[in-house]
Amino acid sequence: MDDIYRKALDELHDVLVAVDKAQIATALDTIAGARRIALYGVGREGLQMKGFAMRLFHLGLDAHVVGDMTAPHIGEGDLLIVSAGPGDFSTVSALIGVARSAGAKSLCVTAEPEGAAPRVADAKLVVPAQTMARDTTAPSSVLPMGSLYEGALYVLFEMLILQLRERLAVDAGQMRSRHTNLE
């Protein structure tokens, strides 16, 4: 098992160091400047987006998960962050269109920069990892299906939170004070 652990961790490392620093900077600027943030993803990508929404909330940002009953209307000054690892999902592209029509900006996190969703988003953050889009034609990961992409999202999002925390001058105690006490 040690060999598999090492291989998986090495793969995650290789993906994360390959993420474009300029795209990270754009994502940070876009998130920090948003009035309200809505996040969306499907399947396991969606779970990572929910975790990211939670951390953005802990920072004190007005962050919501699309589909939750409390997700507000978005418009001018707002941001929709979506994940489309394989490059597109019909719901992701539809939501980008809704955001654009409402005057909101969109940021698409993806492994496939030429996919339909990242091409129409206002900004993209490319995470160059295997997803289900390529797991049968060009498998490159020891992890199954899209797990490399999903695992990289988790670590990348936590690193973005650390950078936003510093930029927004939020300390760990402030973040903790926003954590639910209903567990």
List pLDDT tens digits, range 54-64.
999 999 999 99
Measured CA distances, 42 to 39, 101, 118 (Å): 11, 22, 15
CA–CA separation, 88 and 91 (whole Å): 8
> Which two tokens mark 47?
């779970």
pLDDT tens digit string along 117-166? 999 999 999 999 999 877 777 667 889 888 999 999 999 999 999 999 99
- Which residue among 11, 150, 166, 183 is the active-site one? 150
The whole-model pTM stands at 0.96
> Three-class SS of residue 62?
coil
Assess whether 114 carries a catalytic annotation: no
C-alpha angle with apex 139: 138 to 141, nearest 5 degrees?
145
CA–CA separation, 92 and 30 (whole Å): 19
pLDDT tens digit string along 31-52? 999 999 999 999 999 999 999 9
Q: What is the pLDDT of residue 139?
A: 65
Q: Where are the alpha helices (DSSP H) in 19-60?
A: 21-32, 43-58
CB 82 within 8 A of CB 48: no
